[in-house]
Amino acid sequence: MRVDESADLPDRTIDVLIVGGGPAGCAAALAALRERPEASVVIADAAAFPRDKTCGDGIAPHGLDVLRDLGVTDAVAGYQPVDRMRLRTPGGAEVATPSARASYVVPREVFDARLVAAARARGAHLVRRRVRTLEFADRPRPDGRGREPVVVVNGALTARVVIGADGANSVVRRGLNLAANPPEAMAIAVRAYADLPADERPPEQFIHMTDDGWPAYAWSFPIGDGRANIGYGMLRSRLTGGDDGTSAKTVLHRTLARMLPQTPADPTTLRAHHLPLSTHRPRQPNGPVLLAGDAASLINPLTGEGIYYALLSGSLAGQAAVGAANPAGAGRRYRRSLDAELGRHLRHTALLAGLVGRRRTMMDAAVRAARTRTELYDTLVEIGLGRGTIPASSLTRLAVRRTMSGRR
């Protein structure tokens, strides 16, 4: 994919500089240009697109809703819908029910390239840059009336607002002096692709939870081309080397092979990645630098899902970047809009993650009940893949249970 050279960039201060060309970054660009088509928007990414990205590749319908609002309707074109999910708990409870709305499994190499193309078609510039530094300065205003605060990236690119959508190891986040997630709020997962055995049954996403390192699970998501995205993830704080002296990396690979014996991984596609969970989400600061997606620790602690959060937070960040009365107000505007959209949901997922992490039997009971209660299954899916919340009838009981668990 062609990138824009320096000569193609605006010769003035950029309105919105987005670091990272994944779902969060592209959604930010699309939203900013939807609100202000004349704005100068630049996406800076170290990689050349298309490129592989370690991920489960699952695209929930909630993320497609965000893209549709942004005018992108072909992000999953050519891929089959998967409207069935099978959950299996360590205690043997299992539920497999058609979902109200289908998900898709699209390799990020394809999905992200499509989003970048959509952002460029809308007017965003793409530059291949590895961002290393972030500093605050001021520059003469374009109209000659005094000076304006700006953010300088790599000592060269100057922007009124910067959106950090640069993933779990965000340079922009470090530039704001915001610490990374601690190990107990950081998951690590290994992902691979595998050939699927022939099966005439309808395709389904499969999640197999395990006691080893609980909470932890393996997954197998069918792409539709005879392959599946498979993987295994657990909390970083619970990952150690094997008793036989093997490395933690080898433990991940062995556990994946043991849990999904019917779909052996293509070893050339094995990749590991970190997932900063929303249970340790940093407070978005005031000012002209915003964080979206993984850079903001927006990963569901129950499922590891992050694409919906990335698309939604990126869209909100893009709107705030061009909608604030001045760049200094962008951070506050974005923080408030993100809390309005996801605040209650994030508090509820944190509550559930704490309880389930201490008492695995809660997950067994929930899955068993979901086999006969469709509304419970739908609630679990919404909490795990979208922005669902705990029903009021259950919230007080769970809050009391968390309090009692904390006293033990």
Cβ contacts of residue 294 below 8 Å, gap of 6+?
24, 167, 168, 170, 275, 276, 306, 310
What is d(CA 366, CA 380) in angstroms, rounded to the nearest whole number? 9
- pLDDT, residue 212, reads 82
- pLDDT, residue 3, reads 60
pLDDT interval class at 149 (50, 70, 90): confident
Cβ count within 10 A of residue 166 = 28
pLDDT interval class at 4 (50, 70, 90): low
- Please name the helix (run of DSSP H) or strand (run of DSSP E) that holds residue 310, with its range, or none: helix 307-323
Cβ contacts of residue 209 below 8 Å, gap of 6+?
87, 88, 89, 90, 215, 216, 217, 363
What is d(CA 366, CA 306) in angstroms, rounded to the nearest whole number? 23
Q: Which amino acid is at 117?
A: A
pLDDT interval class at 1 (50, 70, 90): low
- Range(s) of the chain covered by CATH 3.30.9.10: 82-107+182-276
Residue 229 contacts residue 56 (beta carbons within 8 Å): yes
Q: What angle do CA 300, 301, 306 make, to 5 degrees?
A: 25
Interaxial angle between packed helices 330-358 and 307-323, expressed in degrees from 0 to 180 and rounded to the nearest 10: 160
pLDDT interval class at 32 (50, 70, 90): very high
- pLDDT, residue 267, reads 96
Q: Is the pLDDT of residue 402 over 60?
A: no
The least confident of 21-30, 149-158, 188-197, 307-316 is: 149-158
Record the pTM.
0.93
Q: What is the CA radius of gyration of the chain?
A: 22
**What is the CATH architecture assignment of 82-107+182-276?**
2-Layer Sandwich (3.30)
Cβ count within 10 A of residue 1 = 13
Superfamily of domain covering 6-51+108-180+278-342: FAD/NAD(P)-binding domain (3.50.50.60)
Cβ contacts of residue 268 below 8 Å, gap of 6+?
none
Q: Is 97 in a helix, a strand, or coil?
A: strand
- pLDDT, residue 243, reads 72
- Range(s) of the chain covered by CATH 3.50.50.60: 6-51+108-180+278-342
- pLDDT, residue 199, reads 79
